[in-house]
Amino acid sequence: MAYTILRFKKDKGGAIAGCERHNERKKEAYKSNPDIDMNKSKENYHIIHAPQYTYSRKIKELIKEYGCKTRKDSVKLVETLITASPEFMNRLSKGKQREYFERAVKFMKDEIGEDRIISAVVHMDEATPHMHLVFCPINKDGKLSAKSILGNQKSLSEWQTRYYNYMHERWNELERGKSAQETKRKHIPTWLFKLADNLDNLYNQLLKKIENINMIGMKKNKDLDPNKLVVGSEKKAWWICQKCKGTWQTQICVRKKHGCPYCTGQKVRKGINDFATLYPDLLKEWDWDKNSESGFFPDEIMPGTKKKIFWKCKECGFMWQAAVKDRTKKNGRATGCPQCKRKKLSEYHLTPVVGINDLESCYPEIAKEWNYDKNINLLPSQVLKGSATVVWWKCYICGNEWQNAIALRTKGFGRCPICKKNK
């Protein structure tokens, strides 16, 4: 039996950004949702394209356009999940699947108005193709009110009936499920359903890890008796650190001089000594796009590694490459953004930096009077805004030429003497 599926979820201000990251696949990984195959994400497509900026900005524009009144707890976005039973959707060809979603979008346009829809994206990278359609709940009277659009349980049931009738006209094998008013059932969130669906798998994985632990380290040492082994034995055994609980394998004779490889920084262990865990502030400047292409992830490398990683400055957006160990040095010796460093040096008037402290960028109106004929091989972008250098100027009003220091011009002095006298 194939059923139509239409679900709504109301979002307020804080949840909108997370909704956008999921729908538009703006995250690097989705550990909480194992169904997502990022290799297939390129097959996702839009029926209605998302705005060039953000969901939140589009919502603000719609609210301003309709002159809606808002409260702190106002529902500003409604997420709509549109699909059908897995056996029905997976039986359709990709062309028929697109037809299904396009028809569903037409239904939503007729119900809520096309201009209220912010995005409609089809996800092909999960087990069952489905569409996320999001809209701003502005009703026909121009008021922001999700309640007047979705209503109560009875109204939602009527929504389901109208949607079923509309889709059933094209696919008569589809059926209308029993109303929640009849069954008295309550829907649980999608994320909770998926989490519960994977509990058995997680439980089995946890059991395997627990069963491996033994008095020396792990159950894999069941063939070794510590009471019958000498300290200098070259046999390999499994160990478990009493401090970090990390496990590793090494020769018994080696343990006399060497301790836990995780605590001593010889091996990386996620959540204990990896870069992402120990340096969350530097993680903000991790360039996910470039480093992912190279196979580097912050929770898989040590803070002292010599590997060169791509970084993106959180202040100015400049991108550069540097070794991780150089960024994690102690006592103030760690390196930072080279562009910001140059900017800081320029503030001490050591050298002009275009776009930061040069005359042309900081004082474009004064730079218009730069005399290019007499200031040979010297441009206004090559001098500091506070330089004491005396240069030639040419008045753009009367054409008079005169000399004066750059610093005097930028401080409001040294204007054209002819124009000043006539005034």
Report pLDDT for 310. 92
Stretch (H or E) spanning 4: strand 2-11
Backbone angle region of 151, left / alpha / beta, with phi > 0 → left and psi within -120 to 50 → alpha: left
Q: Give 119's strand partners.
A: 134
In percent, how much of the chain has pLDDT > 70?
86
Cα three-residue angle 357-363-366, rounded to 5 degrees: 135
Instruction: Determine how many CB atoms are found less than 10 A away from the CB of residue 63.
Output: 17
Residue with tokens 């470039």: 290
Number of residues that make up the chain:
423
Report pLDDT for 340. 83
Report pLDDT for 404. 93
b/e 239-273 (16+ beta carbons within 10 angstroms → b): bbbeeeebbbeeebeeeeeeebbbeeeeebbeebb
Report pLDDT for 205. 56
| Lowest-pLDDT choice from 273-282, 345-354, 399-408 | 345-354
Report pLDDT for 31. 61
Report pLDDT for 227. 72
Q: Give the residue-averaged pLDDT of 351-358.
A: 80
Contact criterion met (CB below 8 Å) for 409 and 386? no
**pLDDT tens-digit series, residues 198-256:** 555 555 554 454 444 444 445 677 777 777 777 778 888 888 887 777 788 888 788 76
Mean pLDDT, the chain, as a whole number?
A: 84
DSSP 8-state assignment for residue 236: E
Contact criterion met (CB below 8 Å) for 105 and 113? no
Global pTM reads: 0.47
Instruction: Determine how many CB atoms are found less than 10 A away from the CB of residue 15.
Output: 15
b/e 31-57 (16+ beta carbons within 10 angstroms → b): eeeeebeeeeeeebeebbebeeeebbe
d(CA 314, CA 319): 10
Q: Which long-range contacts (CB under 8 A, 24 or more apart) does 175-179 make?
A: 175/1, 175/2, 175/3, 175/4, 176/3, 176/4, 177/3, 177/4
Residue with tokens 């997680």: 202
Query: Over 60: is that where the pLDDT of 136 sits?
Result: yes
Nearest CA to 128 out of 26, 27, 33, 48 is that of 33
**pLDDT tens-digit series, residues 46-99:** 999 999 889 999 999 999 999 999 988 899 999 999 999 999 998 999 999 999
Secondary structure string (H, E, C) spanning 246-291: CEEEEECHHHHCCCCCCCCCCCCCCCCCCHHHHCHHHHCCECHHHH
| Lowest-pLDDT choice from 6-20, 125-139, 198-212, 395-409 | 198-212
In percent, how much of the chain has pLDDT > 90?
40
Signed CA dihedral, 172, 174, 179, 182: sign only: positive
